[in-house]
A and B are shown apart, each in its own frame.
Chain A
């Protein structure tokens, strides 16, 4: 197991470097001069331009800029944006909002997704099963963007139940955006649980449990559900990275000052250091949770052994 983790970690390095270089190259290969743009209408003094260009290594070839960037990054220095603000400050300030949003989304995935999946799975082809199948198809088909407006309009404006923008109401203001962000994955969790439960209901150990005369509840919760949750747990783990992508849209529509919003603003303002910093972080989160999931798989299911 230790060797497996070590090998996976080693494989992670080229992927992380590759992804961040890709974004780095895209951001810094831009035509136009961000430093002159900083001055707006008033031209900056040549000395100032020269000094800033030097400071941001803009005279170096692209690969050297990147090497210097990674060197700084390894020492915990994410660099500064063109206004002199530390990128790390932006990240630490914005991160809590996104973490909260992701936690709410995952809570919805677990609670609604698994409950719906179990109820559908224990009676395959029953009424509730069909309801779940149709509603998940419907949800998967609604783009996050559209779902956000539906939620804002019905729950926010018509019913007045939830705030539709900002984070002024604590956790409460995360419920609606969290649900919207979770919707697609929630449908997937429900389907995954359903398939898994329906399959395990026919397993020998479930028949044994029933034959022993265990109450139905115990058979479902302790024998079927436990074993059926393995693929679900791993999906939810891997989904954390994906949620970060969805957060861009959700945070923009709901006006939440999180990482997704920050990276979107930075892309628009061509703040290279911020974009590269946040994307590198997101890639790290994505890869990290995928690794955790792979290891978790072996822990949860002793039949799987990594060599």
Chain B
């Protein structure tokens, strides 16, 4: 069909497929065309907005739990309310200890967010560093680093993190869980960055920069890495969701966060035995966990579509 670039730069009142963009030749528009194109594309994507709203709700719960918990203290409990069903007063009912469940589920968001963000940051640092070195220098360095990545890749994320956490080398708690997850999750980011670097390093502008006497580090940081940002960003967004699910799973399996920490994994674990009598105990943390994961998956999917010019019609 029409030139994808023109189409995508078209104003958003012009429907998909229109070629009547008027602002596309404006000065400066070419500079960040990938990102401004992507943003125009994203704005039209309903799924992106659903993801963004869910994501904001989740971040809100993590930052201001008291507001979302309607001011109820998650630790003020009354055993006579044990496992009481949801009601107009207490939307999520009560847990086994008779604590307000809405408050508990809301307060669980913070640990999930911290672990998801921390783990993804470590993954990005490791992945970009190792991937850039591997792709840029090639040869023996690349072979060794790629084999190391293969080794970690052959171990399932949950299994690897399970063993590391149980071994106690990292200690216990939020940071330990995040690092354990990152340790067995950095390989895909590394491969992404590596392949981007290999693709770009033989381009003319890199040769030009080198001819002007730019150092390796400068070439990498100024000329090569910016090109790898788009795929890595998509990957990172989806990965936050996957890491949050993985944290809940590890905690459920008994090696993640420990009580008295408030965590969805712990709530699901406790609720598991009450599936017959008080199904809401598993339902609510599972629901919020799923919506949170979904927020990041939807945003990541939309971002990928928006950043991939080939998919535009």
Contacts and interface: CB of A to CB of B under 8 A. Distances in A.
A108 interface: no
A252 interface: yes
Given A22-B151, A143-B245, A149-B272, A249 B158 contact: yes
Given A18-B151, A143-B289, A145-B248, A26 B163 contact: yes
Contact of A157 (B147, B152, B159, B275): B275
A149 B286 contact: yes
Nearest to A249: B249
A294 B298 CA distance: 31
B241 interface: yes
A143 B282 CA distance: 13
Given A18-B148, A248-B156, A268 B254 contact: yes
B164 to A, nearest CB: 6
Interface string A123-158: 000000000000001101111111001101100010
Given A141-B294, A143-B293, A245-B156, A153 B166 contact: no
Contacts of A153: 275, 279, 282
B119 to A, nearest CB: 15
A161 to B, nearest CB: 16
B303 to A, nearest CB: 14
B155 A30 contact: no
A142 B283 CA distance: 13
A150 B286 CA distance: 9
- Size class of the B contact interface (CB-based, 8 Å): 35 or more
Contact of A249 (B253, B272, B293): B253
Contacts of A244: 156
Interface residues of A, number: 47
Contact of A144 (B151, B249, B255): B249
A263 interface: yes
B240 to A, nearest CB: 12
A145 B163 contact: no
Given A137-B298, A141-B294, A264 B162 contact: yes
Contacts of B167: 26-27, 29-30
Nearest to B246: A143
B154 A286 contact: yes
B151 A157 contact: no
Contacts of A283: 154-155
Contacts of A23: 155, 163
B290 A19 contact: no
A242 B156 contact: yes
A248 B290 contact: no
Contacts of B253: 248-249, 252, 264
A283 B279 CA distance: 37
A15 interface: yes
Contacts of B164: 26
B301 interface: yes
A137 B47 contact: yes
A29 B47 CA distance: 47
A270 interface: yes
B150 to A, nearest CB: 5
Contact of A146 (B152, B158, B255, B290): B290
Interface string B145-187: 0011011101111110011101111000000000000000000
Interface in B231-266: 241, 245, 248-249, 252-255
Nearest to A22: B151
A155 to B, nearest CB: 13
A119 to B, nearest CB: 21
Interface in A51-92: none
Given A29-B169, A149-B286, A138 B293 contact: no
A220 to B, nearest CB: 23
B275 A149 contact: yes
A267 B298 CA distance: 34
B252 A145 contact: yes
A31 interface: yes
B268 interface: yes
A252 B254 CA distance: 12
Nearest to B294: A141
B193 interface: no
29 contacts: A15-B147, A16-B154, A22-B151, A26-B163, A27-B163, A31-B168, A141-B293, A143-B248, A144-B249, A145-B245, A149-B268, A149-B275, A150-B286, A152-B275, A153-B282, A242-B156, A245-B159, A248-B158, A248-B253, A249-B253, A252-B253, A253-B272, A264-B253, A267-B255, A275-B163, A279-B155, A279-B159, A283-B154, A286-B154
Given A26-B164, A282-B156, 9 more contacts: A18-B147, A19-B155, A29-B169, A137-B297, A140-B297, A143-B290, A245-B158, A267-B163, A282-B159
Interface of A: 11, 14-16, 18-19, 22-23, 26-27, 29-31, 137-138, 140-146, 149-150, 152-153, 157, 241-242, 244-246, 248-249, 252-253, 263-264, 267-268, 270, 275, 279, 282-283, 286-287
